Structure 1
Amino acid sequence: MRYSFHAQGHPNVTSAHKTTFEVTMDPEIGEAADCIIGVSSEKSMLNFPEEFKKAIAKNNSSIRVVLTTKNAYDEIKGTGNVSLSLDHPTDIVCRKSDYVCSRTLMIKSDKAACDLNPLLIEDLSKGEKLNVDIIVE
């Protein structure tokens, strides 16, 4: 199953966070928001189809997030969990840890913001469009 949407980069994207990365519907972020890589997302987890949410919210479901800008891409792998509510109205967070809250899309991510392709982050810090593809297997 695949779900795709767009977000935007922002001048304050630093991608320095060591345990998470986030895409948000919020249009602005501050300089301290070092996990946020995309703003003004056209979708939140509330928009995910129910069948898609059910596939994610299974223990050890395999999830891939593919991030693409005009000059770069990256692929992040993680897992789902039965405790994921997938109902946050604005934020989508991928975590290296097992921590689960309403903002969590996946846990046990193999990358955080600081691990992402530097060319991707360069595009995002210039405000380029971000394509987000979430694939559940």
Structure 2
Amino acid sequence: MRFEIKFSGHENIRSNHQKTIEITKESHLTPQGDCIIGVGANYACADLPQDLKDKLKQSDSNITFSIDVGKYSFTVHGKGHPDLTLTHTEDIVIRKSDFVCPRTLSVKCDKASDLLPREMVSLLQDPKTKGTFTITVD
């Protein structure tokens, strides 16, 4: 199963958080949002199709995230979790830890926003930049 989310860049994107990656439907971003890699997303956790949510809630689900911006692509692997609620109406967060909250889409991810290629981050600091966040669950 595969699902794509579109998002935009923002001048305050820093992408230097060591434990999470976040995209948000919000258009405003302060420099403190150091895990956020995209704003203006067309989906948040609550908006995802139910069949995708059901797969994300399985602890044996292996999830691959692809972040594509311009000629750059960044891949993250994570796991599903039975306690995911997927109810947040603005945000999606993927985490290296096991922490679960309404914004959490995946846990035990192998990378966080600090590992995004700096060339990709530079592109994302332009509000005109568009990106795609692809969720693939096997």
TM-score, normalising length: structure 1: 0.96
SS at match of 2:82: coil
Matched, 1:11 2:11: yes
- What's the RMSD between the two structures over aligned residues? 0.9
Deviation string 1:21-68 (CA, Å, 9 cap, x unpaired) is: 100000010011101100010111222111111011001310111000
Specify every segment of 5 or more residues in structure 1 that has no aligned partner in the other structure, as ranges: none
Q: Report the AA paired with residue 133 of structure 1.
A: T
- Deviating beyond 3 angstroms after TM superposition, the runs of 4 or more aligned structure 1 residues are none
Q: Tell me if the contact between 1:18 and 1:114 (Cα under 8 Å) persists in the aligned partners.
A: yes
- Which residue pairs with 1:22 in the alignment? 22
For residues 1-137 of structure 1, the aligned pairs below 5 Å read 1-127=1-127, 128-137=129-138
Deviations, residues 5-34 of structure 1 (Å, cap 9, x unaligned): 200011100111110010000001001110
SS of structure 2 residue aligned to 1:7: strand
Q: Secondary structure at the match of 2:132?
A: strand
Q: Aligned-pair distance for 1:73?
A: 1.0
Displacement, 1:111?
A: 0.7
Query: CA deviation digits over 1:94-133, x for unaligned, max 9?
Result: 1000100100000011111101122221211123101111
Distance 1:115 1:3 in 2: 23
Q: What is the distance in 1 between the residues matched to 2:24 and 2:8?
A: 9
Specify the code of the residue in structure 1 equivalent to 2:101.
Answer: C
- Verify the 8 A CA contact 1:38 1:124 in the aligned structure 2: yes
Aligned partner letter, 1:96: K
1:65 and 1:3 mapped to 2: Cα distance? 10
Q: Are 1:71 and 1:123, in contact at CA under 8 Å, matched by a contact in 2? A: no
